[in-house]
Amino acid sequence: MSDEIRDEAAEAEQVIADAEEIVNEAELAEPVEEDLDELGRAVAERDEFREMAQRLQADFENFRKRSAAQAEQSAERRVAGVVEQMLPVLDTFDLAASHLSTEGEPSAEAAALSSARAMLVDTLTKLGLEAVPGAGEAFDPEVHEAVMHVEAEDGEGPVVDEVLRAGYVFRGTTIRAAMVRVRG
């Protein structure tokens, strides 16, 4: 019987050892659960920071695009302002050219004047300036300013009869309407 008692004692000791091991594992599991909770919080915080960084990146990209568009619009407005300020110079060249004699060989001054006018017109055209259509064209209140009116003989619609001051369109926008006499 003593062997049976020893076996039972050994089994009891084994059960106690197993119980102690289970208790030790439970004690070890508690810090692991705390570590897992802390890891979960860290992952959630990381995801939150990632989303915030993505939003900031998108906001910055939108800001960059908006700033570039505003800078382009501002530059275009400045160019349009300079072109508009050059129109009186072009008018003066046109007036001077209208007083030049067309008979015979033009003088050196007349040639220089014509050349300077052509250079100015070429430069402004390259920037986007276009002359408003003149005499014989249909009247368009978007680009023509009627300052005189004459009756039409054959009942035709309103047509530009004579241009009194040239008008110009810059990149699709009327910067100065042409002053015209309208027939019809």
Q: What is the CATH number of the domain that holds 171?
A: 2.30.22.10
- Angle subtended at Cα 62 by Cα 61 and Cα 68, rounded to the nearest 5 degrees: 90
Rounded to an integer, what distance in angstroms lies between the CA atom of residue 61 and that of residue 54? 11
Structure tokens at 39: 């890891």
In a domain, 161, yes or no: yes
Domain membership of residue 147 (yes or no) is yes
Q: What is the pLDDT of residues 21-44, one digit of tens each?
A: 766 666 666 666 777 778 788 888
Task: Determine, yes or no, domain membership for 91.
Answer: no
* Range(s) of the domain holding residue 146: 130-184
Task: Report the percentage of the chain scoring pLDDT > 90.
Answer: 34
Residue 108, domain member (yes or no): no
- Total domain count for the chain? 1
Q: Specify if 75 maps to a domain.
A: no
The pLDDT value given to residue 1: 53
Measured CA to CA, the distance from residue 34 to residue 131 in angstroms comes to 80
CA angle 7, 11, 15 (to 5 degrees): 170
Instruction: Tell me the pLDDT tens digit for each residue of 57-113.
Output: 999 999 999 999 999 999 999 999 999 999 999 999 888 888 876 677 778 888 888
In a domain, 144, yes or no: yes
Q: Is residue 148 part of a domain?
A: yes
Tell me the C-alpha distance between 17 and 93, whole Å.
112
The reply to whether 169 falls in a domain is yes
Report pTM.
0.61
